[in-house]
Chains A and B, each alone.
Chain A
């Protein structure tokens, strides 16, 4: 079974450009989560999506960030007008339908965004 796939693995953007990060969940998984890990910090939850629905975006910055998980294709995390503070590792995770309320999450290798 292929794991969670993320691309690109490394992304360099200049300030003001747009960054698009892609995540393909594991086969059979319909729940996707995005986390951000700033340098020297722990992972922080950003957003939880199911197919065509945003369930919880409480961890997303209010501006410039958006996420989607269309019916077909990968989940996309989009950052508009990037700033240096957006430089971080962005991890996607997926899970199947929860069993007994427990959502086991399987993480991708991450996309390391560098804003110059």
Chain B
């Protein structure tokens, strides 16, 4: 999987929007951009994924740069329950090989202040 770069940590206030960046300058044309998060003492949880277009779901939005070399996960109104480590992961669906393996980096630790 291509490499991603995320800030080690970010801080936000409750009920404010949060923009979590991810750089993936070596992304290939068949790489999907996935986001997972891991709350304290829990397993990772799928958040959202996209290929080229921006995506929205009930949890978050994913904004993908036009050149696809970066993306931003947007939490529209952070709550205390959003405090977690957020992982940006690329998955190559074109390889036909081991794209089932999720490669977790260190992610971004999001702290939400009340």
Contacts and interface: CB of A to CB of B under 8 A. Distances in A.
Contacts of B93: 100-102
A43 B44 contact: yes
Interface in A67-116: 91, 93, 95, 98, 100-110
Contact of A105 (B98, B102, B103): B102
Contacts of B45: 107
B29 interface: no
B44 A91 contact: yes
A101 B43 CA distance: 23
Interface in B55-113: 87, 91, 93-94, 96, 98-107
- On chain B, which size bracket covers the interface? 20 to 34
Contacts, number: 59
A102 B91 contact: yes
B42 A45 contact: no
B104 A110 contact: no
A93 B43 contact: yes
Contacts of A44: 104
A44 B106 CA distance: 11
Interface residues of A, number: 27
B33 to A, nearest CB: 11
B100 A31 contact: yes
A42 B43 contact: no
B101 A45 contact: yes
Interface string A47-61: 010000000101100
A1 to B, nearest CB: 14
B42 A110 contact: yes
Contacts of A59: 101
Interface of B: 32, 41-46, 49, 87, 91, 93-94, 96, 98-107
26 contacts: A31-B100, A33-B102, A43-B44, A43-B104, A45-B101, A45-B103, A56-B98, A56-B100, A59-B101, A91-B43, A91-B44, A93-B43, A93-B44, A101-B96, A101-B99, A102-B32, A102-B91, A102-B93, A102-B99, A103-B100, A107-B43, A107-B45, A109-B42, A109-B43, A110-B42, A110-B43
